[in-house]
Copies of this chain bind each other. A is one copy, B any other.
């Protein structure tokens, strides 16, 4: 039973196919898992979340698929300092929802924030422009994280 048969075309199919990759049910499941949460999932988190519905998707496939999706630009890989990579969609069915992170170094909690982005955007653009010119770099992306202590941990 082909994947096309099982499920209608999805917003991300084009991007995956354009990169020469096939659409499979494992990939379906993994993108689904990432798109229904706000959390920053590890490979194993993804495994746990899809295992009931897709018991035949192995952890190896998840690692491979996440790498593939990072390459295809559909997923970001983050490191919040807990020893495992964490993943997040770069965009959903409704388009991009770029944001930055606030990381508590005590309890490792991570807050997404999108406010202030408008102010930052202006500076980011000019910084990126300046850097590309000076270093001949083509900049496709950026990572901005603030580290500190969250309200809860401050209370202690």
A143 touches B140 (CB 8 A): no
The residue in chain B whose Cβ has the minimal distance to the Cβ of A122 is: B123
Which one of B134, B138, B143, B154 lies within 8 Å of A143 (CB-CB)? Answer: B143
The residue in chain B whose Cβ has the minimal distance to the Cβ of A79 is: B79
Q: Which 7 A-B pairs have the closest CB atoms?
A: A136-B151, A139-B148, A79-B79, A141-B147, A123-B123, A143-B145, A138-B149
CB under 8 Å from chain B, chain A span 70-129: 77, 79, 81, 102, 104-105, 111, 113, 115-116, 119-120, 123, 126-128
Which residues of the partner chain B approach A151 to less than 8 Å between Cβ atoms? 135-137
Which residues of the partner chain B approach A138 to less than 8 Å between Cβ atoms? 148-149, 154
Q: Would A146 and B154 be within 8 Å (CB), given that A115-B130, A120-B127, A123-B119 are in contact?
A: no
Instruction: Check: A131 CB closer than 8 A to any chain B CB.
Output: yes
Which residues of the partner chain B approach A147 to less than 8 Å between Cβ atoms? 139-143
Q: How far is the CA of A134 from the CA of B127 in the complex (A)?
A: 26
Determine how close the nearest CB of chain B comes to the CB of A107; give it in whole angstroms. Answer: 12
**A-B contact sample (7 more), CB < 8 A, given A77-B81, A79-B79, A143-B143:** A127-B146, A128-B146, A132-B148, A135-B150, A138-B154, A140-B148, A142-B146
